[in-house]
């Protein structure tokens, strides 16, 4: 039985197959409409979410399966003190596969060790968010036609942003990738990513503070929200929250093919006036998120269509 904790749980070849499957689902949705008939997905969300939980549910429903779960730890037995391990043992009797989001790093991993069903990490604290990364990879590959030879700018909260950590981990496996990290000093990428992931593989990167200085050289600009819930004090959050605001004026500095991605939810970091720019890909990204989660559910349940 396979789980998904990190994007590295799949080899590059397996990822390619998964993304191919997602593209096939995009083209021929009717072929997959009953693929998961009789199967149940449980969504165990101990931390707030709109997109990730609903896109998992939408993915399972579009595969003809059914869903159950909770979207708030306060309404689950966690509020009575039940451990994640006990919860997953029980859920294994109710469902065939589960997606878990937790504020504690490693909670889905703990669950996977005792689970009787595949567990998907739907975001664990500031650590990883592998299904957002699958979404990002599918979006980039579908819209750019490649996952190599790319300069990717990651902007905003690079310290606490789990989507950023997972995406860097996944992209360093492709050829000729370079990164530009754009953040305030306090929100730079963690040392472990710099040392264990980038330096260990000799991946080129630079760290800058001003978005305007680097816009012109990017293939992808990945914007992120300042992760308020992971700050120790509100004052720091308030000081940093509007550090970057991508607007029409800054978009003029970018090339005609640069894509803007964002895992969403957005707060102020992308002005709504950018939404109508053909380079703004963040709502298309949401649609790719459903296809890739459909492909992931089929893969982990070993359903052949
Ligand atoms: C992200 C997350 O939860 O980490 N959202 C998402 O899943 N699409 C990004 C965020 O919350 O800023």
Ligand 1 and 51: CB distance under 6 A: yes
Ligand 1 and 183: CB distance under 6 A: no
Q: What share of the chain is helix, strand, coil (3-state, %, to 5)?
A: 45, 15, 35
Q: Looking at domain 7-128+288-300, which of 3.20.20.80, 1.10.287.3510, 3.40.309.10, 3.40.50.1370 is its CATH number?
A: 3.40.50.1370
Ligand 1 closest atom vs CA 161: 4
- Rounded to an integer, what distance in angstroms lies between the CA atom of residue 143 and that of residue 137? 10
Ligand 1 and 102: CB distance under 6 A: no
Residue nearest to atom 8 of ligand 1 (CA): 263
Read off the tokens for 104: 């504690």
pLDDT at residue 72, rounded to an integer: 85
pLDDT at residue 79, rounded to an integer: 79
pTM beyond cutoff 0.85: yes
pLDDT at residue 211, rounded to an integer: 97
Read off the tokens for 240: 């940093």
Evaluate whether 7-128+288-300 and 130-285 have a shared fold. Answer: yes
List the domain boundaries for the chain.
Answer: 7-128+288-300, 130-285
Å from CA of 187 to ligand 1 middle: 16
Ligand 1 and 108: CB distance under 6 A: no
Ligand 1 and 132: CB distance under 6 A: yes
- Rounded to an integer, what distance in angstroms lies between the CA atom of residue 280 and that of residue 184? 23
Ligand 1 closest atom vs CA 135: 8
Ligand 1 and 225: CB distance under 6 A: yes
Å from CA of 299 to ligand 1 middle: 23
pLDDT at residue 74, rounded to an integer: 83
Ligand 1 closest atom vs CA 264: 8
User: Digits of tens for pLDDT over the chain (305 positions)?
Assistant: 999 999 999 999 999 999 999 999 999 999 999 999 999 999 999 998 888 999 999 999 999 999 999 998 887 888 788 899 999 999 999 999 999 999 999 999 999 999 999 999 999 999 999 999 999 999 999 999 999 999 999 999 999 999 999 999 999 999 999 999 999 999 999 999 999 999 999 999 999 999 999 999 999 999 999 999 888 899 999 999 999 999 999 999 999 999 999 999 999 999 999 999 999 999 999 999 999 999 999 999 999 99
Residues 6 or more apart whose CB falls under 8 angstroms from that of 77 comprise 87
Å from CA of 163 to ligand 1 middle: 7
Residue nearest to atom 11 of ligand 1 (CA): 265
Read off the tokens for 124: 């664990």
Answer whether CATH 3.40.50.1370 is correct for domain 130-285.
Answer: yes
Alpha helices in the chain (DSSP H): 12-27, 51-62, 84-94, 107-114, 130-144, 162-171, 191-192, 200-201, 234-240, 248-251, 282-300
Ligand 1 and 163: CB distance under 6 A: yes
Ligand 1 closest atom vs CA 122: 7
Ligand 1 and 285: CB distance under 6 A: no
Ligand 1 closest atom vs CA 52: 7
Whether residue 265 has a cis bond before it, omega within 30° of 0: yes
Read off the tokens for 67: 């869903």
Q: How is 156-196 classified by DSSP, letter by letter?
A: S-TTT-HHHHHHHHHHTTSTTEEEEEE--GGGPPPHHIIII
Å from CA of 69 to ligand 1 middle: 19
Ligand 1 and 293: CB distance under 6 A: no
Å from CA of 122 to ligand 1 middle: 10
Å from CA of 170 to ligand 1 middle: 17
- Rounded to an integer, what distance in angstroms lies between the CA atom of residue 266 and that of residue 240? 15
């Amino acid at each position: 039985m396979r789980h998904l904790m990190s994007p590295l749980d799949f080899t590059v070849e397996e990822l390619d197959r998964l993304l191919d499957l997602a593209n096939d689902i995009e083209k021929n949705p009717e072929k997959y409409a009953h693929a998961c008939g009789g199967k149940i997905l449980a969504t165990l969300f101990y931390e707030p979410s709109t997109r990730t939980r609903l896109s998992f549910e939408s993915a399972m429903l579009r595969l003809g399966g059914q869903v159950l779960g909770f979207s708030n730890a306060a309404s689950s037995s966690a509020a009575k003190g039940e451990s994640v391990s006990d919860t997953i043992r029980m859920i294994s009797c109710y469902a065939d596969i589960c997606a878990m989001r937790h504020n504690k790093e490693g909670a889905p991993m703990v669950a996977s060790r005792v689970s009787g069903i595949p567990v998907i990490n739907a975001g664990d604290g500031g650590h990883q968010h592998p299904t957002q990364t699958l979404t990002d990879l599918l979006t980039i590959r579908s819209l750019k036609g490649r996952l190599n030879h790319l300069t990717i700018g990651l902007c905003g909260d690079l310290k606490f942003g789990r989507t950023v950590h997972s995406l860097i981990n996944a992209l360093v496996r492709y050829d000729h990738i370079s990164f530009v990290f754009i953040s305030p000093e306090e929100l730079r990428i963690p040392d472990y990513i710099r040392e264990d992931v980038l330096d260990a593989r000799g991946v080129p990167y630079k760290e800058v503070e001003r978005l305007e200085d680097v816009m012109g050289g990017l293939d992808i600009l990945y914007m992120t929200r300042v992760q308020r819930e992971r700050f120790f004090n509100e004052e720091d959050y308030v000081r940093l929250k509007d550090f970057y605001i991508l607007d029409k004026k800054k978009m003029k500095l970018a090339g005609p093919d640069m894509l803007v991605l964002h895992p969403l939810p957005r707060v102020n970091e992308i002005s709504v006036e950018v939404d109508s720019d053909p380079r703004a890909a963040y709502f298309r990204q949401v649609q790719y998120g459903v296809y890739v989660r459909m492909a992931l559910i089929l893969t982990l349940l070993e359903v052949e269509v």
